[in-house]
Amino acid sequence: MAYDKFNILTSSAVPLPIENVDTDQIIPARFLKATERVGFGDNLFRDWRYNSDESPKKDFVLNDSTYSGKILVGGKNFGSGSSREHAAWAVYDYGFRAVVSSFFADIFKGNCLNIGVLPVQVSPEFADSIFKAIEENPNTELEINLPNQTITLLATGQQESFAINGYKKNNMLNGFDDIDYLQNIKEDIEVFASTRPF
pLDDT given for residue 177 in this prediction: 74
Please answer whether residues 9 and 144 qualify as being in contact, where contact means their C-beta atoms are separated by less than 8 angstroms: yes
Please answer whether residues 28 and 46 qualify as being in contact, where contact means their C-beta atoms are separated by less than 8 angstroms: yes
b/e sequence 165-187, b meaning 16+ C-beta within 10 Å: eeebbebbeeebbeeeeeeeeee
Is the pLDDT reported for residue 2 higher than 90? no
pLDDT given for residue 36 in this prediction: 62
Give the span between the Cα atoms of 110 and 164, in whole angstroms.
10
Please count the residues of the chain.
198
- Condensed to tens digits (0 to 9), the pLDDT of residues 47-88 reads 999 999 999 999 999 999 999 999 999 999 999 988 788 999
Q: Considering all CA atoms of the chain, what is the largest pairwise distance in Å, rounded to the nearest integer?
A: 66
Is the pLDDT reported for residue 17 higher than 80? yes
Is the pLDDT reported for residue 187 higher than 60? yes
Is the pLDDT reported for residue 32 higher than 80? no
Is the pLDDT reported for residue 190 higher than 90? no
Give which of 99, 108, 39 is closest to 73, Cα–Cα.
99
pTM: 0.88
Is the pLDDT reported for residue 113 higher than 90? yes
Strands 158-161, 150-153: pairing kind: antiparallel
